[in-house]
Structure 1
Amino acid sequence: MSIITNIIILRISCISIDFLLRLIPIIIDWLNASIAIDRTLALVMSTKYDKSKSRRAVKWTIISILLFSTSSLLHDPINRQLIEDREETRTWCLIQYSSALQIYNSTINIFHFFVPFIINIVTAFIIIFVAARSRATAQRQQTYKQHLKEQFHRHNHLILSSIILVILATPRLIISFISGCMKSVRNSAFYLVGYFISFIPPCITFIVFVLPSKLYKNEFYAATRRFRTFIGRQ
């Protein structure tokens, strides 16, 4: 927009900013999916679940997610370039793919979008059914169907939060398939709203995951009390 004219700053921002804005939500989605898997394993394995092994696995999982997500998107910054438009007196940050790379880019977008969502939904249903089966075995005064209904009511936030997050992230997927440049402020509100809606999920993790869950909310309150006690001692 001719506000910044330093070519080095423009080149760095062209390569990095859009890449990071694309990468970070993907990393968050995969971290959420990993938490869902760990939560499910803890329930399914019950007494066999080893917390110390889980903590060690977390470190490798985070590293793997960072490496996998970054490497799958490296084609993005590599193919970015600055184009000087003298007629409109502006500098464009353009990205151009070959047909094969375009197919790969679309495929990887769909993969990063749907797979974490599917993991979240599937693990949520596994938790509900396994918990209902365990309760039905331990508490025979109620039928399995009654326990199942109770567990759906208790854990419905897992399903609802996954659906809400994927709905909010949908504009990000749609925009990734739209090619072209916004040359003026005409209809800019539509694109900007869709663009910023995509970043709502990382900003409302607390609202979506913690507040609807009695367990997580109690843990949050307990952690807050411990923090206040620690600060008071200082």
Structure 2
Amino acid sequence: MKTDIRTSSSYQEQIMTFAYAFSVTMMVAVGFASNIFSIDTFRHVQLRQTTVGIHLLVYSCCSLFGLLMLECRLFQLLDSLTYIPFFIICNVVSGLASIFTRICLWTNGLIALQRSLHSFEHIRLLNNIRSRAAAPKQLLVIVICIFLMHVHELICRVTLPDPVAEGKFVCQIKYSTELLTLNTIFIFLHLFVPFSLNILANCLIMASISHRRATLHQTTYWSQWLKQFRRHGHLFLAPTLAMVPVQFLIFFSHNNLSFSFKICTLPQMVLSLKFTCVDVTLKWLLRLNTSANLILYIPQAATFFVVICSSEAYFKVFKKKSLCGRVLRLNRNAKNKVLHFTGAHLPWNMTPHHEMKTNKGKNAEN
């Protein structure tokens, strides 16, 4: 984005800088409030009794940190930035933003798997996997694996003089042929492992429901499975559509809010694999890459709306037990009381018109 802005005219540079900074800041502001509400909800002991609640709390925290790192990257647009601050933003902040985003991506798949396991009967192996004590270990494994998969990126990030603007800098990632191959493998893993976890979770849920219904109604297992697939087939929609062309995804993304990370990850993955190096004169490609990178953060910004608002149980805890929910409810009640008080104590000459008509009608009858 910086190169695109610096190679534009002075007037376009101001407009593009404002548009990009405004878009990022608005997304971060909405995401900050969304994740603060989510953290305030999932911090309660009631929701942290299950592994899903613990994972959602960590997911909200990582989403918040990832969005804050995205906002810090805006400082790269400052022309007065010297080498050391630019180096920190390029090599540290940008790397952390990528790491937190991948942690959220994998945690999303783990949450789906944990939810599916809770639909099964108590088996010792499953109890160990879905136990509350196992949640921190699972999250620790994810964090360590994601960090190790980004070590090469952190090492290969370099701050170089901008070839089109003297005295300014650009942030680049320079991979050798071997590391580029390794990075391609990791990109596929970041998409296909969470995708596989979601598909597996959906299959397990369908299997559990079908087994119970077959036993209850004395029917065959596969007939119940097909029946449940027709009813709950939408669960497979988001992860399946992640494998189709980007244009198809964009068309359907307007009709389903639950597309989550798979929809938002694929455009960036396609661009990363297709264009390892971009000519600065191809402005459309630079802007497309910038848009894909921003789309990647949409699920992190929409945590409250996707997770809490869509769940009656979580939303009930938010309204009644979370600090933010109680404050919002008190403010709404206070406004309602003020409106009620104002309407009840209006002067005679400000009495609503329909009430005056009613009073006149009563006097005429008397």
Q: Same fold (TM over 0.5)?
A: yes
> Is the Cα–Cα contact under 8 Å of residues 124 and 159 in structure 1 kept in the other structure?
yes
2:81 matched residue in structure 1: 5
List runs of 5+ in structure 2 lacking aligned partners. 3-77, 241-258, 328-366
Asked whether 1:224 is paired with 2:318, we answer yes
Aligned residue type for 1:60: K
Cα distance, 1:181 vs structure 2: 4.8
Q: SS state of the match for residue 159, structure 1?
A: helix
Aligned residue type for 1:172: Q
Residue number among 190, 199, 202 corresponding to 2:297 in the alignment: 199
Cα distance, 1:137 vs structure 2: 0.5
Q: TM-score, normalised by structure 1?
A: 0.81
> Is the Cα–Cα contact under 8 Å of residues 120 and 162 in structure 1 kept in the other structure?
yes
1:125 matched residue in structure 2: 203
Asked whether 1:174 is paired with 2:270, we answer yes
Aligned residue type for 2:142: I
Distance 2:312 2:192 in 1: 31
- What does the per-residue CA deviation read over 1:55-74, in whole Å, with 9 as the maximum and x for residues that have no partner? 11111111111111011111
Q: TM-score, normalised by structure 2?
A: 0.54
1:19 matched residue in structure 2: 95
> Is the Cα–Cα contact under 8 Å of residues 109 and 173 in structure 1 kept in the other structure?
yes
- Which structure: larger Rg? 2
Correspondence list, 1:209-220, <5 A: 217-220=311-314
> Residues 25 and 154 from structure 1, CA distance in 2 versus in 1: closer, same or farther, beyond 3 angstroms?
farther
Cα distance, 1:4 vs structure 2: 3.6
- Percent identity over the alignment is 24
Q: Give the structure, 1 or 2, with the largest relative contact order (CA under 8 Å, sep 6 or more).
A: 2
1:37 matched residue in structure 2: 113
> Is the Cα–Cα contact under 8 Å of residues 76 and 95 in structure 1 kept in the other structure?
yes
> Is the Cα–Cα contact under 8 Å of residues 161 and 208 in structure 1 kept in the other structure?
no
When the two structures are aligned, how many residues end up with a matched partner?
A: 228
Q: SS state of the match for residue 43, structure 1?
A: coil
2:255 matched residue in structure 1: none
Distance 1:69 1:220 in 2: 29
> Residues 182 and 200 from structure 1, CA distance in 2 versus in 1: closer, same or farther, beyond 3 angstroms?
farther
Aligned residue type for 1:169: T
Distance 1:174 1:78 in 2: 23
Correspondence list, 1:60-209, <5 A: 60-85=137-162, 88-89=165-166, 90-140=168-218, 144=221, 147-149=224-226, 151-152=228-229, 155-163=232-240, 164=259, 165-177=261-273, 178-181=275-278, 183=280, 186-187=283-284, 188-208=286-306
> Residues 151 and 47 from structure 1, CA distance in 2 versus in 1: closer, same or farther, beyond 3 angstroms?
farther
> Residues 148 and 85 from structure 1, CA distance in 2 versus in 1: closer, same or farther, beyond 3 angstroms?
closer
Aligned residue type for 1:117: F
